[in-house]
Amino acid sequence: MAMSGHDDHAAFRDRAFFGRRKGHSLRSRQLGLMATLLPRLAVTLDRPAPNELAEMFPRRPQAVRLEIGFGGGENLIAEATAHPQVGFIGCEPFVNGMAKILASIEAGAIDNIRLYAGDAIDLLAWLPDASLDEVDLLYPDPWPKRRHWKRRFVQDRTIAALARVLRAGGLFRFATDVPDYAAWTLERLMRAPDFVWTAERADDWRRPWAGFHGTRYEAKAKREGRAPCYLEFCRRAGHEPLHAALAGCRPDLRHSPPYSCDE
Ligand SMILES: C[S@@+](CC[C@H](N)C(=O)[O-])C[C@H]1O[C@@H](n2cnc3c(N)ncnc32)[C@H](O)[C@@H]1O
């Protein structure tokens, strides 16, 4: 069952952020972008979320999507460029990744991305119910050692938070090159009452969804001979039968953006 934003916050208060916040020192141009462009694009959690996330963008988008842990921003920039009618929120606590995407946003004069430079758990807790059309989690830190598994982003409570912020018919997309993390994620999403796996064929997990641009980590995984795994889950409306949930998610739209269930 989905939690309210308030409960979400309480549930995660004990959770630390485990990733890296900083790498090499930023160059002066990057520092300039962090000081001038980031404040203009930043999602600020110290005030309540707008009733409609569309209000955060200069041109009212038809849908709003979130990418968690965008790294260098390759996929986010490509998606935002390919879908100018969609608003994107990118979340990345790693300062160097944020500096990199700011340079790309400026170079491409991209106006449909908003950024949160922190832990996605806090962002999820801030977002209104059913406010997103899609959430992408691409190559999250795998935390391979058993004693670190609790650090993985995908946990039952994170899935509940995703279910709360996704609208019925919205999508959660996950990619990894770590078989154990793929199995971990599938196991948790399969037991989550709010989601249904959209796979139609036995090898669906081997193929990315249409239009996927790839990421830096994916390129590295392929270079090193690791096979990516792609999992796509649809947010169910309620306790409707699985076939009805899948119909609501328009599996045919796996091959084009699933912006509306009732089109
Ligand atoms: C392995 S990298 C993958 C980056 C990118 N998605 C790619 O495929 O190239 C994982 C990214 O997730 C980010 N990350 C880790 N924990 C996060 C969290 N709690 N919220 C948001 N991003 C997070 C890290 O900073 C890092 O950039």
pLDDT band at residue 139, thresholds of 50, 70 and 90?
Answer: very high
Q: Return d(Cα 260, Cα 169) in angstroms, integer.
A: 8
Mean pLDDT of 120-138: 98
pLDDT given for residue 127 in this prediction: 98
Residue 150, by phi and psi: left (phi above 0), alpha (psi -120 to 50) or beta? alpha
Domain boundaries, the chain: 5-13+52-255
Asked if 236 and 189 touch (Cβ cutoff 8 Å), the reply is no
Q: Best mutation site among 67, 115, 148, 217 for ligand 1, i.e. most ligand atoms within 8 A of its Cβ?
A: 217
Mean pLDDT of 146-175: 96
Residue nearest to atom 25 of ligand 1 (CA): 94
Q: Using the Cα atoms of residue 157, residue 44, residue 260 and residue 176 in order, give the sign of their dihedral.
A: negative
Give the distance (Å) from ligand 1 centre to CA of residue 115: 14
CATH topology of domain 5-13+52-255: Rossmann fold (3.40.50)
The model's pTM:
0.90
**Ligand 1 pocket by C-beta < 6 Å: which residues?**
17, 19, 68-71, 91-94, 97, 119-121, 138-141, 153, 215-218
Residue nearest to atom 12 of ligand 1 (CA): 69
Average pLDDT value over all residues in the chain: 88
Backbone angles phi, psi at 186, to 5 degrees: -60, -45
Q: To the nearest whole percent, how much of the chain has pLDDT over 90? A: 76
Backbone angles phi, psi at 58, to 5 degrees: -65, -35
Asked if 94 and 21 touch (Cβ cutoff 8 Å), the reply is yes
Residue nearest to atom 5 of ligand 1 (CA): 71
Asked whether the predicted pLDDT for residue 260 surpasses 50, the reply is no
Q: Return d(Cα 220, Cα 222) in angstroms, integer.
A: 5
Of the ranges 23-27, 184-188, 241-245, 252-256, the best mean pLDDT one: 184-188
Atom of ligand 1 nearest to the CA of 20: 25
Atom of ligand 1 nearest to the CA of 120: 20
Q: What is the dihedral of CA 108, 109, 111, 115, to 10 degrees?
A: 70
Residue nearest to atom 16 of ligand 1 (CA): 19
Asked whether the predicted pLDDT for residue 253 surpasses 50, the reply is no
Atom of ligand 1 nearest to the CA of 70: 6
Q: What is the three-class DSSP state of 147?
A: helix
Atom of ligand 1 nearest to the CA of 137: 6
What are the catalytic residues?
141
pLDDT band at residue 200, thresholds of 50, 70 and 90?
Answer: confident
The encoded tokens of residue 222 equal 């392929």
Residues 60-114 have pLDDT tens digits of 999 999 999 999 999 999 999 999 999 999 999 999 999 999 999 999 999 999 9
Mean pLDDT of 214-231: 96
Residue nearest to atom 4 of ligand 1 (CA): 71
